[in-house]
Amino acid sequence: MPLPSLNDINPVAASLEASSIRAIANFGMTQEGVIPLWFGESDIVTPEFICQAAFDSLAAGQTRYTPNNGILALRQALSSYQTTLFNQSFDEDNIVVTVSGTNAVMLAAQTIISPTDKVVVITPAFPTLMAIPRLLGAQVIEFPLTQMQGRFELDLNGLFKILKGARALVINSPANPTGWVASFAQLCAIAEFSRQMGIWVISDEVYNRHVYQGQCAPSFAQIMNEDDRIIICNSFSKAWCMTGWRLGWLTLPKVLRPTITKLIEFNVSCAPAFVQAAGLAAITQGEVFLQQTLVRFRQSRTMVYDALNDVDGITLYDMPATFYAFIKVDGLADDSQAYILNMIRNEKVGVAPGEAFGEAGKGHLRICYGQNHQSLALALQRLRRYLSCYHN
């Protein structure tokens, strides 16, 4: 029998583009002395108290299957955390534990999206948010943020116009890669539009705590009720430096839980017990650690501004949230891979290509400033030199 070809597999899966961020990283990791600013993670390791909780769970023999929706203690802790943070009542039946934030988005999409559905994604956006509905056979429409006076803004009237006939809206706020944050008034308007038009909202709020004013970014959790078509996706990866642990959660109307439960069973079965034990420690004991990381990131943001704000041909946008700087580079090709590979070879620093985040990201670069200050200072010195010489 002949070997299978691309004609023998799911055409949607075959047509998905590989991650250009990963391609850059794969090359950069073969080069000695390169400072990596490409992935969306800091160099801060998971704190000891979280790791200890996982060790204790393993020592106690907690290596068997767990409930599909997550261990009750973790779901209760998450509901309590959100009730306090958002001043809105939740209980454990509004919470489903997932295997990463990415898995949360996939489960939300599988629950509400069917082939040929129209799905609108606010961009620039992390590639997963566009790839998942496409993989499910949906028609994905990118709706770009507007660039105004060094910041990103959302044109609500334009968004509501393009949402006509849509099944769902996918929104990420605070946003990767731009750092844009939707206002509370904008979220209220979107929620009301969803109610009137029967449109689902999948809200990726992984960076909700990575803001530099206030305790958290505005969230749909502050306004949603049991009748709303809103699903919030979240993760332990960013706030508690647990990217490799692969643990997340969904906040949703209780009516969705039976369907989500079945999807979890047929996707991943359940999240591991010892990883959930680590998550429980993070959510109940991790506030001091989280605030300490924000102090560091705030200083890192200032370092980025001081290093790049006055480079000719570069637009450095406002950075109200996340740990990313998104910069526009005059004359940068739509495909910036060659530009970045040359940066890695010549200056030993690497960033993420803007086009990885959709059409609206073309001509831009994303810088993750999660490195320690010593490494970041050197990386920014190299990046400034390269951008000054090769921006057009």
- Helices 72-86, 273-285: axis angle to 10 degrees equals 30
Name the pLDDT band for 136 (thresholds 50, 70, 90): very high
378 CB-contact burial (10 Å; exposed 0-12 / middle 13-18 / buried 19+) = middle
Provide the pLDDT for residue 8.
Answer: 80
Tell me 234's DSSP state. E
Q: Give SS3 for 368.
A: strand
- Summarize pLDDT for 8-63 with one digit per residue, the tens: 888 888 888 888 999 999 999 999 999 999 999 999 999 999 999 999 999 999 99
- Summarize pLDDT for 269-296 with one digit per residue, the tens: 999 999 999 999 999 999 999 999 999 9
Taking residues 81-105, what's their average pLDDT?
97
Residue 374: phi and psi, rounded to 5, are -65, -50
Q: How far apart are CA 158 and CA 165, in angstroms?
A: 14
Per-domain boundaries in the chain: 6-46+288-390, 61-285
Name the pLDDT band for 391 (thresholds 50, 70, 90): low
- Looking at domain 6-46+288-390, its CATH architecture is Alpha-Beta Complex (3.90)
- Give the CATH number of domain 61-285: 3.40.640.10
CB atoms within 10 A of CB 194: 20
Q: How far apart are CA 59 and CA 124, in angstroms?
A: 44
Residue 147: phi and psi, rounded to 5, are -95, 120
H/E element, 285: helix 273-285
Q: pTM of the full predicted structure?
A: 0.96
Collect all residues with Cβ–Cβ distance below 8 Å to 26 and sequence separation of at least 6: none
Average pLDDT, whole number, for the chain?
96
Q: How far apart are CA 18 and CA 15, in angstroms?
A: 9
Name the pLDDT band for 119 (thresholds 50, 70, 90): very high
Name the pLDDT band for 5 (thresholds 50, 70, 90): low
Tokens 């769970």 — which residue? 57
Q: What's the alpha-carbon Rg for the chain, to the nearest Å?
A: 21
H runs (alpha helix) in 87-126: 101-112
Question: Distance of CA 102 to CAs 1, 10, 109, 236, 377, Å?
Answer: 37, 21, 11, 11, 31
Provide the pLDDT for residue 83.
Answer: 97
Provide the pLDDT for residue 11.
Answer: 87
- Summarize pLDDT for 148-192 with one digit per residue, the tens: 888 999 999 999 999 999 999 999 999 999 999 999 999 999 999
Residue 201: phi and psi, rounded to 5, are -125, 120
